[in-house]
Amino acid sequence: MKRQRNGEIWDFEHEMPANQTATEVVLGVDGGTTSTVCICMPLIPFSHSLPPDPVPVLARAVAGCSNHNSVGETAARETLEQVMADALSKSGSNRSAVRAICLAVSGVNHPLDQQRILAWLRDIFPSHVRLYIQNDAIAALASGTMGKLHGCVLIAGTGTIAYGFTEEGKEARAAGAGPTLGDWGSGYGIAAQALTAIIRSHDGRGPHTMLTSSILQTLGLSSADELIGWTYADPSWARIAALVPVVVSCAEAGDEVANKILVDSVQELASSVKAVVQRLGLCGKDGTDSFPLVMVGGVLEAKKRWDIGKEVINYVSKDYPGVQSIRPKVEPAVGAALLAWSFLMKESYNENYRS
């Protein structure tokens, strides 16, 4: 399939009209800064209050980055269209079978971002197709709650964000603003602090640390000076974030500098969660109500002795003992598809209730 024009991506001319008895589908898209995943799911009957486990998936398609902040609007749009077209094609389905789409895309931080995406989606899909545009954090939350928009999600991979929803639809977020704006608990933040500690030790501003030999060896560098050229050579955040396991190993081996970086990061991550829980009142009036905390991303999943995710939960539960941590069993794109399904179910319920 070609990527240039809508007609080419979607092949409007040769599209067959949907058979009335064809399987209706929903699409869930998780658009991250490294890749974009689209899941095509058959429409589960609304008689179920929770989706079946395992979730039925007709097809899965993958594409590159769809964050408009990173690749620009045109490229982001093309990637999103392509991944949806691919998922439909793999399902043996087409646009006319689609009932709802949940597009959860990183970089959607403002109502204007949502409106812009809605405008071009409306050019492609008929008006009866329900469209939901969200930040990608929502897909991660839904992947833990199986489509229910309630609770808080903490994502900590290369970047980090905390996002929460109340049952009434109130939402709040913390962090997720990128390295310049202080996402210090992220994988990038942890690794950048480790690199900084090496420079400070090297030039006499900071204490000796095991991070120097461990990280220089990992990168194949012979001196701390060479780190300057290394960081300038490629500004990719993911490349720096990939050093997190080395920091964890040094902390486990007793290095105080590495340990302090991890402790500080745990506090940063916990403070993001607590800010969201506090603003939404997820913990109830006396602070003891139960609420789900979905934990997603490489920084939180490290199954190491020094377990960052576990420490974050410990910190949060000191203030909010009702926190229920969840490690999702499905990927965020499935969460997005479940969200599309649950939005549709809610609308259908509301319509039936009104009529």
* Chain residues that interact with a copy of itself, rule: CB under 8 A: 69-70, 107, 109-110, 172-178, 180-182, 192-193, 195-196, 199-200, 203-205, 223, 225-229, 231-233, 235, 240, 271-272, 275-276, 278-279
Q: Whose CA is closest to 39, among 56, 54, 27?
A: 27
Query: Nearer to a copy of itself by C-beta: 171 or 289?
Result: 171
Min dist. Cβ of residue 174 to a copy of itself (A): 4
Closer to a copy of itself by Cβ: residue 172 or 340: 172
Element (H, E) at 194: helix 187-203
The residue to which tokens 């720096």 are assigned: 240
**Residue 198 Cβ vs a copy of itself, minimum distance, rounded to whole Å:** 8
C-beta of 55 vs 192, nearer to a copy of itself: 192
Structure tokens at 280: 């939404």
Nearer to a copy of itself, 46 or 230 (CB): 230
Instruction: Kindly state the smallest distance separating residue 338's Cβ from a copy of itself, in Å.
Output: 26
Decide whether 15 or 256 has the Cβ nearer to a copy of itself: 256
Q: Least distance to a copy of itself from the beta carbon of 21, Å?
A: 46
- Compute the distance between CA of residue 26 and CA of residue 101 in angstroms, rounded to an integer: 6
The nearer residue to a copy of itself, 92 or 182, going by C-beta atoms, is 182
Q: Residue 351's Cα: distance from chain center in Å?
A: 31
Peptide bond into 54 cis (omega under 30): yes
Please, which residue, 221 or 302, has the CB nearer to a copy of itself?
A: 221
Exposed, middle or buried by CB within 10 Å (0-12, 13-18, 19+), for 213?
A: exposed
Q: What's the min distance (Å) between Cβ of 70 and a copy of itself?
A: 7
Alpha-carbon distances of 11 from 2, 92, 122, 165, 266, rounded to whole Å? 10, 14, 17, 38, 49
Q: Is 299 buried (19+), middle (13-18) or exposed (0-12) by CB count in 10 A?
A: buried
Nearer to a copy of itself among residue 172 and residue 308 (C-beta): 172
The DSSP result for 219-243, as a single string, is HT-SSTTHHHHHHHH---HHHHHTT
Identify residue 22 by its one-letter amino acid code. A
- Contact status, residue 339 vs residue 138, Cβ threshold 8 Å: yes
Q: Are 187 and 301 in contact (CB under 8 A)?
A: no
With respect to a copy of itself, which residue has the nearer C-beta, 167 or 225?
A: 225
Q: What Å distances lie between residue 323 and 42, 184, 273, 299, CA to CA? A: 33, 23, 11, 19
CB of 260 to a copy of itself, least distance (A): 14
Q: How far is the CB of 79 from a copy of itself (least distance, A)?
A: 17
Shortest Cβ 235–a copy of itself spacing (Å): 8
**Least distance in Å: CB of 123 to a copy of itself?**
23
Distance CA 230, CA 332 (A): 33
Q: Report how far residue 67's alpha carbon sits from residue 5's, in angstroms, rounded to the nearest whole number.
A: 20
